[in-house]
Structure 1
Amino acid sequence: MIRTHWSDHDWHLIHTEPQAPSLHMALDEVLTDEVASGQRPPTIRVWEWATSAVVIGRFQSLRNEVDSLAAERHGITVVRRISGGGAMFIEPGNTITYSIYAPLSLVEGMSFQQSYELMDAWVIDALGELGIRAWYQPLNDITSAGGKIAGAAQARRGNAVLHHVTMAYDIDAGKMLDVLRIGREKLSDKGTASAAKRVDPLRSQTGLPRDAIIQRMIDVFRRRYGLKDDALRSTELDRAGELARAKFATAAWTGEVA
C-alpha cells in the first residue's frame, strides 16, 4: 500500500445534534467500517453530547478506572469505546470531541506514535491561530505550558484508522476526581486545584466560546485539505442505533474488563 496525504482524499464533515454516549460509541464503529469498505468518504465528525459521560478505553478495567456509585450519583453514563487509551470525563458544553475516519493508507508504514503526531498536527496549528502554543506529547496527548489540553485514542479496523480526540473546554475538577479513580489517586496529595492545572481548559486559555474554537478548527482543516459539509445517513443512524442497544449500552460490554 502506498502512503497517501490528507489532500489526496475527499474529506466530509459531520456535525449534528447531541447524541447519547452509547450512540457515539456505535457511530465510531459504523463510520470506521464504512470508510474501510469504501461506502463513505474519509470523514471528520464533531460530537455533541446529550448527557455527561465517562468513556473508558477498550482494554481498561471498569472497576479500576471508575467509581460507579459516584458516577450514578452525578447522573454520569459510563461507556466503553473500541479504541485503546485512557478514561475521558465528559460534560456537555465543557468538552470538544471529534473523530477522524481515514483510509489506512494515510498512516501506512507509520508507528502508532508517528500516526498520532500526524493526526494531531492540524488541530495543534488551529490552536496556534487561537494564541495557544500547543504541542504533541507522546503517546496520545496534546499539551501546553498551562497543562494538558486533550487526549487521543486510535483503532485500526480493516482498511481504515479511527482517531478521536477529547479536548477540555471547561472542567468541573471536583466532579472529575469524584468519578475517576485513577485521576483521584494521581492527585490525592495535590488537591482539586492541581487537577485543574493538569487538564487546562481551552476556555481559560482563549476566552472564546466553545463554538468559536470548533469553528476555527474546522476552518483550518477546510483551508488546508478541503472539507464538504455532510450528514449522517439514515442507514448509518439505524445501524448505529441497533449496535448501541445490542452492544455499547449493555452492562456486558461496559464491564467486559471488570
Structure 2
Amino acid sequence: MQLLDLTLPSPEENLALDEALLTAAESGECPSEVLRIWEPFEPLVVIGRASKLHEEVNVETCQSRGIQVLRRASGGASVVTGRGCLMYAVVLSYELHPQLAALDVCHQFVMGRLQSSLAREVPEVNFQGTCDLTLDGRKFSGNSLRCKRTHLIYHGTLLYDFDLTLIPELLRTPPRMPDYRARRPHQSFVTNVPITREIIRQRLLEAWPTHGEMVDWPRELTAQLVAEKYTNPEWTSMR
C-alpha cells in the first residue's frame, strides 16, 4: 500500500481524486492499494451517490453562506466537513483481500482497524451502526464505500476540532438513522474525538501500513472527472 497525503486546491478536485484512485487501481494504472489523507480548507457539504439533495441538505442556507454542496461517488448520507475534520480513503484489492466481497466483513475489516488504532489514544472509541465510530454514543466518524470489480474504496470523516454547529445548520434531519442514534438531533449526536490531527494521522498510518509515497497519482483522470462530473450541477442535483 502506498501513501498519498494530498489535499488539492478545490473541493471538486478532492472528491474527484478519490474516485480517480479507485478507477486507476481498477484499470491497473496505479498501485493496487492506496491510503489517502486530506483535509478541506473550508466548510463543505458532501452528499451520497443516491442522496436526495433537498431531503438531506438545507440548500438555501448553504447558498446564503456560500458553502458548496457536492455529490460523491460512494453511498451513504450527507456529511459536513472542513477544517478540523480529517478525511481518509483506502483503496483495497479483492485479490489481496477476497473476504471483502462480503459487505459486512468489509465494514468490520476497515472499521475494526480504525477503532483499534484510535482506541490506543481514547479507549472508549466504539464501532456502532453500519460504519460509524463513536465516543460515548456520539458519532465522530462517518464512512462510506464504493465497490467495483477488482477494487473498492472505503473513505470517511474524522472530526477532531470541527465547528459542530455547522452540522444542524446545513443538514436536515436524515431520512435514515441507525438504531443507536435513537432519533437524536445532530447537536446531541455528533462530537469531536479528543485526539490531535497529527496523532490521528499517525494512527491511520499504523492501521494501514504503507511503503513509500505515491508520486504518480492520476492527475489527468482527476481533471477529467472534475470537468465532466464534479463541476457539473446536474451531477449534484440529479436526485
What CA distance in whole angstroms lies between the structure 2 residues aligned with 1:109 and 1:166? 21
User: Among residues 22, 25, 28, which one is paired with 1:35 in the alignment?
Assistant: 25
User: Among residues 108, 113, 125, which one is paired with 1:122 in the alignment?
Assistant: 113
Which structure 1 segments of 5+ residues have no match? Answer: 1-10, 187-192
**What corresponds to 1:134 in structure 2?**
125
Indicate if the aligned counterparts of 1:12 and 1:228 stay in contact, CA closer than 8 A.
yes
The secondary structure found in structure 2 opposite 1:161 is strand
* 1:245 partnered with 2:227: yes
What CA distance in whole angstroms lies between the structure 1 residues aligned with 2:154 and 2:232? 24
Cα distance change on mapping 1:218 and 1:83 into 2, 3 Å: same
* 1:169 partnered with 2:169: no
Cα distance change on mapping 1:77 and 1:232 into 2, 3 Å: farther
Amino acid at match of 2:72: R
What CA distance in whole angstroms lies between the structure 2 residues aligned with 1:96 and 1:140? 16
Deviation at 1:196, TM superposition (A): 4.1
Deviation at 1:220, TM superposition (A): 4.2
TM-score by length of 1: 0.81
Indicate the larger mover: 23-32 or 131-140.
Answer: 131-140
User: Among residues 199, 206, 209, which one is paired with 1:212 in the alignment?
Assistant: 199
* 1:98 partnered with 2:88: yes
**What corresponds to 1:26 in structure 2?**
16
Which structure 2 segments of 5+ residues have no match? Answer: 178-183
CA-to-aligned-CA distance 1:69-106 (integer Å, 9 cap, x gap): 211222211110111101110112x1011111111232
Structure with greater helix share of residues: 1
**What corresponds to 2:181 in structure 1?**
none
| 1:1-258 matched pairs, under 5 angstroms | 11-41=1-31, 42-92=33-83, 94-105=84-95, 106-108=97-99, 110-182=101-173, 195-202=186-193, 206=194, 208-222=195-209, 227-233=210-216, 236-257=218-239
CA-to-aligned-CA distance 1:123-143 (integer Å, 9 cap, x gap): 111111112322322312112
Percent identity at matched positions? 23
TM-score by length of 2: 0.87
Q: CA RMSD in A?
A: 2.3
Deviation at 1:210, TM superposition (A): 1.5
Deviation at 1:107, TM superposition (A): 4.6
What CA distance in whole angstroms lies between the structure 2 residues aligned with 1:152 and 1:171? 17
Cα distance change on mapping 1:17 and 1:155 into 2, 3 Å: closer
Indicate if the aligned counterparts of 2:89 and 2:154 stay in contact, CA closer than 8 A.
yes
Deviation at 1:183, TM superposition (A): 5.4
Indicate the larger mover: 147-156 or 126-135.
Answer: 126-135
